[in-house]
Amino acid sequence: MTRFADRTGPIRLGMVGGGQGALIGSVHRVAARLDGAYELVAGALSSTPDRALASAAEVGLPKDRTYTDFTEMAKREARLKDGIEAVAVVTPNHMHLPVAREFLKRGIHVICDKPLTGTLADARKLEAAAGKSDALFILTHNYTGYPLVREARARIAAGELGDIRLVQVEYAQDWLAEAPDPDNKQADWRTDPARSGAGGATGDIGTHAWNLARFVTGLRPEALAADLQSFVPGRRLDDNAHVMLRFEGGARGMLWCSQVAAGAENGLRLRVYGSGAGLEWHQENPNRLLVTPLGGPTSIVTRASGATGPESRRLTRIPPGHPEGFFEAFANIYGEAAQAIRAARTGAPLPADVTFPTIADGVEGVAFVDACVRSSRRNAAWVTL
């Protein structure tokens, strides 16, 4: 039971990072308020004091709950009777550990953007900090919140595909196909090893692809062989990766992630093939799941249709034919987190169907990046995770 066990109403949320010019901060704010489960009441939205104050004013934070330092915020909010219950950490990767640790040790739940950290050493430190805290840790691998991703997961778990043999996952973009404008804040930190970490495309979007494949199939990784490239001259981190995968039980897979694939926008795609059937899902057309039995015709399963099961329908907001997309999937992760936080208020058990990415998923994602870098340095040798 937390110090907020008697609180009712919306969950009081704080945010660190996500100020002016930060795309992911606004995405988190939209996701948090979509279902009315949270109220943003405090924030340290930038490491630059003037920008922190201006950013807070833009999103309507009161001056007495606006901070220019995350440590000060954690200390003061923990003392307040109406202090925050949870904090969204939406900083560059290298700050996830120090920020999250300050709130975890004060019993404040953490909702952290991915990847968990920039390095595997930091990931393990954060895992240890989370293990010592009574607070929850939620990682926003938002693609797991799509209803038809949950449908695919349920069908595989029910054995509808038979024994899984092949997993093909890719995430292709082109926004870093050229050297970016120096004023592009997002490109600047994401291509800087000091702030992004050991992986470029592998850390930024490769971890999403990896997590999606793991979440949907449930297969446990055994080893990988990775070939990483930096196609843009002078770039210090990978912008493209081809990864071969071996899973326990004999299944095989391939993962491709790229931020230099000219013409690709946000091409996250998953294909899974079993002994009896295969399925396919595209993030850019997320309201359709293709299911094809061996020797049979392809069925198009649409979101909210009668062909979907309870795992999918519980995350569906509107009737068939009304598209749901990125913001709704992101909000589903926040919604699952809200159920967990409300259960923690009273010590009630968490409903069995509530699922969200955890600290363990985050450590595994960073371990994936670390293994890719190690393998590529050894000329794409097979390495264990």
- Please, which pLDDT band fits residue 7 given cuts at 50, 70 and 90? low
* Distances from the Cα of 33 to the Cα of 5, 17, 27, 104, 147, angstroms: 22, 17, 10, 23, 19
Separation between Cα atoms, residue 336 and residue 354, nearest integer Å? 6
Whole-number Å distance between alpha carbons of 289 and 298: 10
CATH of domain 147-316+364-384: 3.30.360.10
| Calculated CA dihedral for residues 136, 358, 162, 287, nearest 10 degrees | 90
pLDDT tops 70 at residue 356: yes
Q: Is residue 15 scored above 90 in pLDDT?
A: yes
Tell me the average pLDDT across 223-232.
Answer: 98
3-state secondary structure of 198: coil
pLDDT band at 367 (very low <50, low <70, confident <90, very high): very high
pLDDT surpasses 90 at 183: no
Residue 225 vs residues 193, 236, 289, 379: alpha-carbon distances, Å = 22, 21, 29, 9
DSSP-based three-state secondary structure for 8: coil
Collapse the DSSP code of 118 into the 3-class scheme (helix H, G, I; strand E, B; otherwise coil) and give the result: coil
Residues of the chain within CATH 3.30.360.10 domain(s) are 147-316+364-384
**Is pLDDT above 70 for 148?**
yes
- Annotate 123-132 with b (16+ C-beta within 10 A) or e (fewer): bbebbebbee
Percent of the chain past pLDDT 70, that is, above it, reads 98
If residue 190 lies in a helix (H) or strand (E), which one and from where to where?
helix 185-190
Taking residues 201-212, report their average pLDDT.
98
Strand partners, 227: 242
Q: What is the CATH number of domain 11-143+333-357?
A: 3.40.50.720
Beta bridge partners of 289: 281, 301
Q: Please report the pLDDT score of residue 130 as a whole number.
A: 98
Distances (CA, A) of 58 to 45, 166, 177: 11, 48, 32
Is the pLDDT confidence value at 358 over 80?
yes
Q: Which of 10-14, 194-198, 324-328, 351-355 has the lowest mean pLDDT?
A: 351-355
- pLDDT of 43 strictly over 70: yes
Enumerate the H helices of 86-146 as residue ranges. Answer: 96-104, 120-132
Region 289-305: what's the mean pLDDT? 98
Mean pLDDT of 16-24: 92
For the residues 112-134, what does the mean pLDDT come to? 98
- Provide DSSP, 37-92: -EEEEEEE--SSHHHHHHHHHHTT--GGGB-S-HHHHHHHHHHSTT--SEEEEES-
Residue listed under structure tokens 């939209």: 30
Q: Compute the average pLDDT of residues 94-116.
A: 98
Q: Give yes or no for a contact between 248 and 220, defined as CB atoms under 8 angstroms apart.
A: yes
* Number of helices (H), then strands (E), in the chain: 13, 14
Q: Kindly report, as residue ranges, where domains of CATH 3.40.50.720 are found in the chain.
A: 11-143+333-357
- Cβ-proximal residues to 21 (8 Å cutoff; 6+ apart), any chain: 185
Q: What is the rounded CA–CA span in Å between residue 132 and residue 358?
A: 15
335-352 tens-digit pLDDT: 999 999 999 998 999 989
Share of the chain above pLDDT 90, in %: 95
Q: Give the predicted TM-score (pTM) of the model.
A: 0.96
**Is pLDDT of 5 > 50?**
no
